[in-house]
Chains A and B, each alone.
Chain A
Amino acid sequence: MAPRELLKVSNLDAHYGDFQALFGVSLSVAAGQVVAVIGANGAGKSTLLRSIAGLMPARPDAIVFDGAPIGDTPAYRVVARGVAVVPEGRRLFPSLSVEENLLVGGQLGRPGPWTLQRVYDLFPVLAERRNQPAPSLSGGQQQMVAIGRALMSNPKLLLCDEISLGLAPIVVRDIYARLPAIVAEGLSLVIVEQDIVQALHAASHVYCLQEGRVALSGAAGSLTRQAISAAYFGM
């Protein structure tokens, strides 16, 4: 039996004023699956995540999560249903300490495996810095806080927006090395990336966006480099 479908995006459009950013994007994520969304700058990757997270209005049935249409559900209710976001550029709360950032992430009190202690077990360095202001951490550590903050809401689906952005390759590898432990807790993952190598390595299924449309999709192993670069650059 095929795994249960957790997220289904069908024929999604998105607009910023007069500018249309997404044209009929469809995507599907099964429970426990890791899906990568790749594409160049401005391809619509972040817009897709913002739409799923409820920060952009959409047709109610364009986004179905866990059997319920959430296209027009505001972001703070989407979290309560079990969708968490690691936003692009980390976007920690600068006036909060590391621990407060994590606690605010868990303030809805959704039950599940992730607690303050579990996050500290996953990223031990954060436990040492728990009382420091979030902006005093290195970029990689801040990214760990951002991931921890999202996990604290015990999501069924975690959306990661450009977690490699602005980080040294060794730090990126380190953070990607922790993802399997996160997925092992039974959640699904959508990774939005420009770093194709990391994305293909971590995901089982890949969607490539180009100018707001899905240009290519398939199992990560089945796509050739030529096909990807063609879809990526539109050549």
Chain B
Amino acid sequence: MMEWLNIILQGVLVGGLYAMFAAGLSLIFGVMRLVNIAHGDLIVLAAYVALVVTTGLGINPLVSLLVVVPLMALIGYALQRGILNQTLGPDLLPPLLVTFGLSVIIQNGLLELFTADSRKLQAGAIEVSSINLGGGLAIGTLPLIQFIVAIAVIAALQLIFYRTALGRAFRATSDEPAVAQLVGLDNRHVFALAMALSLAVVAIAGVFLAVRANFDPAIGPARLIFGFEAVIMGGLGSMWGTLAGGIILGVAQAIGAQIDPGWQLLAGHIAFLIVLAIRPEGLFPKVQG
């Protein structure tokens, strides 16, 4: 019994990471109806940026966030202004194709620069420390930090979206792009700010991913799938729903892995299909006013 409780607990903590994968994806889709196929690869790119920063400056990966987050946000702004804005329009296909191409470019670029070797960020003693909850239950310090950060990220996004002028601009531009221009909002700038925010979240997710496990240039697409599944399960447009979706995915994978290590990914996908079959609109769909 305790063993299962432990597994579920670990699954919940991993779910926080999946929620961070998903949050940036959900944000971009919500603001500009852009499905970013390169999202997973951008997470991996952030991990490599963190690798360069940590080895170059000799700092802890968690400290490197101070550099990686603004850097990725800057990349996000430039990417949107330089490329993605040109693909937006009534047709959903061009942004899909362009971000797919971007995904291929990032993967191959990283392969050229860093080879296909697995890498990992070293966070030191914190990686193996844990907090004993008694009764045989223990949670790792790092997964706990990761989960708390995930909740903070979701709460911050929620706050930005519904309580700030920037969030108002995001929602207004998403609602009525043409009218948003009539109140003085430059859509291209607003979209670029949304992408910058998305990649700031991607940077956090990438660093935690890289501390938690090995990474190589090819693992992006699988992270994209996890992100998609968490977004869809949670319900499009709901940030807290995204967290719930991530947790369901994390727990399902943990339970699957316990039954048979080969079932880890399958169990996650099955949980996704079950949710989709029962509630196609997701668990917490955005309530339309």
Which residue numbers of A lie inside 8 Å of B, CB to CB? 53-55, 74-76, 79-80, 84-85, 87, 91-96, 100, 103-105, 107-108, 133-136, 149, 153
Write the nearest CB–CB distance from B237 to chain A, whole angstroms.
Answer: 9
Listed in ascending order, the chain B residues whose CB lies under 8 Å from chain A are 165, 168-169, 171-172, 174-176, 178-187, 288-289
Contact status A84-B165, CB under 8 Å: no
The B interface, classified by DSSP as helix, strand, loop or mixed, is: helix
A199 to B176, CA, bound (A): 28
Asked if A95 contacts B181 (CB within 8 A), the reply is: no
User: In the complex, which residues of chain A have a beta carbon less than 8 angstroms from the beta carbon of B187?
Assistant: 76
CB atoms of A107 and B168 under 8 A apart:
yes
Main secondary structure of the interface of A (DSSP, over half): mixed
Are the CB atoms of A107 and B165 closer together than 8 Å? yes
The total number of A-B Cβ pairs within 8 Å is 73
A108 touches B184 (CB 8 A): yes
**Which chain A positions have C-beta within 8 A of B183?**
79, 104-105, 107-108, 149, 153
For A91, what are the chain B residues with a Cβ–Cβ distance below 8 Å? 176, 178-179
The answer to whether B165 and A103 have CB atoms under 8 Å apart is yes
Per CB-CB distance, the 5 closest pairs between chain A and chain B, nearest first, are A133-B289, A75-B181, A79-B184, A108-B184, A93-B175
Closest A residue, CB atoms, query B171: A95
11 pairs, CB–CB < 8 Å, chain A vs chain B:
A76-B184, A76-B185, A80-B184, A87-B182, A100-B168, A103-B165, A107-B168, A107-B183, A108-B183, A133-B289, A135-B289
- Chain A: which residue is nearest B175 at the CB level? A93
A93 lies within 8 A of B289 (CB)? no
User: Please, how many angstroms separate the alpha-carbon atoms of A94 and B183 in the complex?
Assistant: 15
Kindly list chain A residues whose C-beta atoms are within 8 Å of the C-beta of B175. Answer: 93-96
Residues of A contacting B171 in the complex (Cβ-Cβ under 8 angstroms): 93, 95-96, 100
Separation of A59 and B219 alpha carbons in the complex (Å) = 51
Chain A nearest CB, measured from B266 CB (Å): 37
Give Cα A100 to B178, complex, Å: 17
Further 18 A-B residue pairs, CB within 8 A, beyond A75-B178, A75-B181, A96-B171: A55-B178, A76-B186, A79-B184, A91-B178, A91-B179, A93-B171, A93-B176, A95-B174, A95-B175, A96-B172, A104-B168, A104-B172, A107-B165, A107-B168, A107-B169, A107-B183, A108-B184, A153-B184
Q: Which residue of chain A has the shortest Cβ distance to B185 in the bound complex?
A: A76
* Nearest B residue (CB) for A106: B183
Asked if residues B184 and A96 are in contact (CB atoms below 8 Å), the reply is: no
Given contacts A94-B175, A95-B174, contact A85 B182 (CB under 8 A): yes
* Distance in angstroms between the alpha carbons of A191 and B178 in the assembled complex: 20
Q: How far is the CA of A152 from the CA of B177 in the complex (A)?
A: 19
Indicate if the CB atoms of A103 and B182 lie closer than 8 Å: no
Q: Which B residues lie within 8 Å of A135 (CB)? A: 289
For residue A29, give the distance in angstroms from its CB to the closest CB of chain B: 18
Complex formed: what's the CA distance from A71 to B165 in Å? Answer: 29
**Pairwise interchain contact B168-A84, C-beta atoms closer than 8 A:** no
- In whole angstroms, what is the CA distance A134 to B186 when docked? 22
Determine which of A76, A79, A95, A107 lies in contact with B289 in the assembled complex, contact meaning CB atoms within 8 Å: A95
Cα separation A53 to B181 with both chains bound (whole Å): 10
Q: How far is the CB of B33 from chain A (nearest CB, A)?
A: 14
Chain B residues, CB < 8 A from A74: 181, 186
CB distance from B51 to the nearest CB of A (A): 40
Q: Decide yes or no: A107 and B185 within 8 Å by CB, A96-B168, A96-B171 being known contacts.
A: yes
CB distance from B3 to the nearest CB of A (A): 45
CA distance A95 to B184 in the complex (A): 18
Q: How far is the CA of A94 from the CA of B247 in the complex (A)?
A: 31
Please, how many angstroms separate the alpha-carbon atoms of A84 and B179 in the complex? 11
* Residues of chain B with a CB closer than 8 A to A53's CB: 182
In whole angstroms, how far apart are the Cα atoms of A95 and B289 in the complex? Answer: 6
Residue of A nearest to B174 (CB): A95
What residues of chain A lie closer than 8 Å to B182, measured between beta carbons? 53, 55, 75-76, 79, 84-85, 87
CA distance A108 to B165 in the complex (A): 11
